[in-house]
Amino acid sequence: MADKKPLSKEFTKGLIAENPVLRLVLGTCPTLAVSTSVSGALGMGLAASIVLICSNIVISALRKIIPGKVRIPAYIVIIASFVTIVQMVVKAYAPAIDESLGVYLPLIVVNCIILGRAEAFAGKNGVIASAVDGLGMGVGFTGALLAMALIREFIGTGAISGTQIFPAEYAMIIFILPPGGFFVFGMLMAVANKLAESKGKPKAELHGCESCPMAASCSLINTGSCEESVKEATVR
């Protein structure tokens, strides 16, 4: 059983100190992919937050029922169910957002933020705490996406959500391309590190697969073949 914290701390930790994107460095792929526009970032953030909160609640409620050996497949089924519901709602009521998010909306199923919180928190804590944790992480994820999108869209197109702020000919289009995404991502991580350090928190560092919340159940790590797989992928 995890140590109990006040619900306010369970919420606020996801904003800066344990921000899933800027501090835990999770969900990097969808973050870079959809943060080229504010509308796409907001859509992804809200969708992922809803799935995160709902899946955390259900997983926490069933944590004593789900057998340990099949917990990961069970978590994925629960998460996939909520993703399907969210995707159907978005398709019906916000087709423009569904089109802008593309494949990244259904891929929320394997978003390591959601699966990581299920394994690291919801599976070990009560329903209310898990719901608050999901809300805090969802707000932190959405905030990071919006911060990146505002910077990238403003500098890269000269507009924000279709409203032209300055002439497009002065825009730096590289900011809506992958290199600009990595640059903005790095700058925001540096800011988040500084804010966290001011509160006595360590810097966010990449330690490889062992830092992933799913590391304990990953077959590649358990069989010692993780590094070999990474090398093969790099060569390809």
Residue ranges of domains in the chain: 7-198, 206-236
What number is the average pLDDT over the span 186-190? 92
Query: Please, are residues 116 and 213 in contact by the beta-carbon 8 Å criterion?
Result: yes
95-123 pLDDT per residue, tens: 988 988 888 999 999 888 999 999 999 99
Query: Please, are residues 122 and 56 in contact by the beta-carbon 8 Å criterion?
Result: yes
Give Cα separations from 61 to 44, 57, 131, 182 (angstroms): 26, 6, 11, 38
Q: Which pLDDT score, from 0 to 100, does residue 4 have?
A: 66
Query: Please, are residues 155 and 171 in contact by the beta-carbon 8 Å criterion?
Result: yes
d(CA 39, CA 149): 9
The SS3 assignment for 160 reads strand
Q: Which pLDDT score, from 0 to 100, does residue 89 have?
A: 95
Contacts of 59 (CB under 8 A, 6+ apart): 66, 75, 78, 118, 122, 123, 130
Q: Which pLDDT score, from 0 to 100, does residue 1 have?
A: 45
What pTM does this model have?
Answer: 0.81
The answer, yes or no, to whether residue 236 has pLDDT greater than 60, is no
The answer, yes or no, to whether residue 208 has pLDDT greater than 70, is no
3-19 pLDDT per residue, tens: 567 888 889 888 888 88
